[in-house]
Amino acid sequence: MTTFVLIPGMCHGGWCFEQLTEQLRLHGHRVHPVTPTGLSERGHLLRGTDLETHIQDVTALLEVEDVRDAVLVGHSYGGMVITGAADRAPDRVGPLVYLDAVVPEHGDSMWSLVSDRERQWYLDVVETGDAVRPLPFFDPRATPHPLVSLLQPLRLDGPVRARRNVYVYAAGWEGPSPFTPFYERLREDPSWTVHALDGGHNLMRDAPQDLLKILLETAESP
């Protein structure tokens, strides 16, 4: 049995992994879909929430549940979170799986890593000025995302050494993908296992069976 910890992208909660969670559990695995602080059913905690808070959401779960060798899966913004969690709790983390996500290094932020088009979205904040509005086509359950978590540079104490690094690229974007530079760089890196799926950014919805297969293979690999 493998423990999967699933971290969503901006504006989303653990509910976005509902189908994937069910399928992984049917295969006998332990699964923790995370709703980051300040989002979805935890939206009332938005004030004061930043990237470090979201990293602590994961590391606290790993400690309380006494998880070892977890597969951390981060979608989009979740790439920031799983990288930070692997740095903070290396003894509890196994493979890292980036689902059409950023792959940051020390000092990077979402703002510094994405395209100008994405930055324009980040500037569409709610009336209080502290959160980014969900895009109109998002799931109705999506909620505003804390702005500071997108601007805050990631702090890493050293190179993140995962048991295995996996990148899953969504090849079906309508228009340019902000994640193409990561895909093009990592597919040339022999230390990474890289996949390209025929789906849009929401791979959990667009390519569920292909994604499930990749995660099961990740769990089985030494």
What is the number of residues in the chain? 222
112 included as an active-site residue: no
Spatial CA neighbour of 100 closest among 124, 123, 118, 125: 118
Q: What whole-number distance in Å separates Cα of residue 214 and Cα of residue 193?
A: 10
* Helices 18-26, 208-220: inter-axial angle, 10-degree rounding: 50
Residues ≥6 apart with Cβ < 8 Å to 177: 100, 169, 170, 201
Q: Which two tokens stand for residue 18?
A: 């509902």
Among candidate residues 40, 76, 149, 177, the one labeled active-site is: 76
Which residues are designated catalytic?
76
